[in-house]
Chains A and B, each alone.
Chain A
Amino acid sequence: MVFVCRFVSGQNKQLLYDFSEIPQSLLINPGTETDFQWYSGVPLLSGISFQAGSSGISVNDLFANDGIDFNDKVRDRLINGMSPKDDLSGTYQIELINIGYRGSETDNFYSFGIYNEGDAIGYWFKDYAKLGFEGNADNLNNRFNLGHLKTRGEILNVFHFGVTKEIDNKLTFGIRGKLYSGILDFTSTKNKGYFVTTEGQNNLLANTISADLELKSSGIITLDHVMDGDSSAGDMIKRGFFGGDLGLGVDLGFTYHLNEQTLITGSILDLGFLYHSNDVLSYSLRGNATVEGVEIILPDAINDPNADFWQDLVDEVEGLVPFEENRKSYLTFRPTKLYGSLRYNFGETVQSKGRLDCDCNVSGGKSNRAKYTNGVGGQLYVINRPRGPQAALSAFYQRCFGNIMAVKTTYTIDKYSYSNVGLGLNLQAGPINMYFMADNLLAYRNIAASNYASFQLGINIISWGKN
């Protein structure tokens, strides 16, 4: 993957979505139908996920040993080949604690926990790269768009508590409240302006900058102190436990049976915000200036023999386009995600572990729904990104092998890949549940040429039954 660790954004977990045998599916849709009595994730191991993607070029595009001049590859494939809409993005998530239990009223299932999440995206800053690679000399009248700088990222801890309620035989609804504790944040997404070189009015050339740029950050100072050894790592950890920025959010989800074998699901995640008021450091560059070099106009210059023309020019530009630092609090909205699916179940019916004590009935009443060995359908995923919503469409097939194993395979198209085939495996060994899921498997034929990679794994202890 290109620059795997440079930009880490909301991960499409299409394999985990609606995989109701796995407790972590509740984190993607709090309205998932489950029949656990209780579960407990193994701390730090219950949910580990990582994703990285580049919608532009891959490592192979640049570093393949193909005999093509490296400078040609950089110019043709990177500088000129990528568009400002191409991004480098990624996310990771590590569950610290995840516990769920069925309430005394068996239609209610409660789940809570803490997870740490890092999420970032950086769009290709095309015109900045072009200016840096070529310069302005042969680009007369070509406006370099300063709005191409668009990036954001965050690391935070999320404390959550959710309730999943089976409303009736057809509808299950879930809600999850979230408390965000921000550790680190940077955002620079509303930049505007340009730099252009034109024929001058007085002199030969005029360089003009019109800038409205801002980079906001929180937690960077603490991180800097930790890196320098002036602070301990504990200071960063404290920020993740309500010592930094705070925010609120909510997840909503549902499962609705259109008929016995067909169901639709949907969820909206991270509908929330973070208020950054702690350890804030922001920079801005705003204003307009045109420079045509040092100007000496007589007789004015004779009347001011001590004039420092160079310093006057520098001061004038700095006055017109000031580079400023501030520590004002700011608000960011979380990258909200939307999932939806249509699923058709078929094949043999199997008795779920949760219904061992039930008298199962295919047309059954509340909490007596039968489980089928096969499921097929489609899923939609949309995430709110700095350049607007970004969508992925998946087709899936899921099969259960008794109550021991279940597999799910997906085919996904999105801006990163049109050939993303993923596979998820869920194993149940007594009370111990393990799952592993990986995406874009075809890309493993040449991992360096891959534009996308993603995996999720975890281990839980589950007790079944709605007793």
Chain B
Amino acid sequence: MPFYAFFLSLTICAIMKKLGIFLSLITLLLCVVSCIEDQDFDQYKDLSVVPVFESSILYLESTEDVINNVPPGPFYSQDFSFNAFSEAVFSDRVLDGVITYEIENTTSKPLSLTLEFLNDADEVLDSESFDIDASPSGTLQRDVVYGNTGKSLDIIKNTSKIRVVAVNNGDNTSTSTISPPLVVLKSSGKFSVRVK
């Protein structure tokens, strides 16, 4: 072994030895002076994060002209996709909720509105019907609860389409004196979602 390598080895050994003693003393000192109060990290398991989110769902508006343009009976029927409920991020975590409907009819005829919740196979999971008197009828409000003591939450989890059927139960000639004559359906959902 060349002399300089031997000398270098000795130097490194000396340094490491002194460093070892130095760090041992420091570690010992910190161990002696440091304390920690009792901690319970299992408390994390008790954490419950259940935010409540709400949003509008569907808005339907029709003028009286549209209703008068067709013979009495159904004047509008439409299926459309609605994937907000069936998204895994929602359907896997939703705990309960309520859908609120508000209907206002200022037309001169009594109307029926039906909302049907459909799954991927177009099977009707649930339906909600509203019979609305001719104007003046005020505002019809209905809260439909899902989960807990309400309807099955599976309805919400499996809904991927909504069917809207609007029926004129009156004539197709009269005109409301209220301007503008409209039928309006408003709706919103408020759901608890388990995040943790």
Contact = CB atoms under 8 A, between A and B. Distances in A.
A283 interface: no
Nearest to B84: A310
Interface size class of B (residues with CB under 8 A): 35 or more
Contacts of A295: 58-59, 61
A65 B54 CA distance: 36
Interface stretch (A7-15, A106-114, A445-453): A445-453
A461 B41 CA distance: 44
B66 to A, nearest CB: 5
Interface string A100-140: 00000000000000000000000000000001111111100
B22 interface: yes
A372 interface: no
Residue from the set B54, B65, B84 with the largest chain A CB neighbour count within 10 Å: B54
Main secondary structure of the interface of A (DSSP, over half): mixed
Main secondary structure of the interface of B (DSSP, over half): mixed
B62 interface: yes
Interface in B28-69: 30, 33-41, 43-44, 46-49, 51-63, 65-66, 69
A309 B84 CA distance: 12
Given A310-B82, A446-B37, A299 B66 contact: yes
Nearest to B39: A63
Contact of B52 (A45, A138, A298): A138
B26 A436 contact: yes
Contact of A447 (B36, B38, B51): B36
Nearest to B160: A310
A271 interface: no
Interface residues of A, number: 61
12 contacts: A65-B38, A65-B40, A71-B46, A134-B52, A136-B52, A293-B56, A295-B58, A298-B76, A310-B80, A310-B84, A434-B18, A444-B35
Pairs A-B, 7 closest by C-beta atoms:
A135-B51, A293-B56, A137-B52, A203-B56, A298-B62, A444-B34, A70-B43
Interface of A: 42, 45, 59-60, 62-65, 69-71, 74, 131-138, 197, 200, 202-207, 291-299, 301-302, 305, 307-311, 427, 429, 432, 434, 436, 438, 441, 444-449, 457, 459, 461
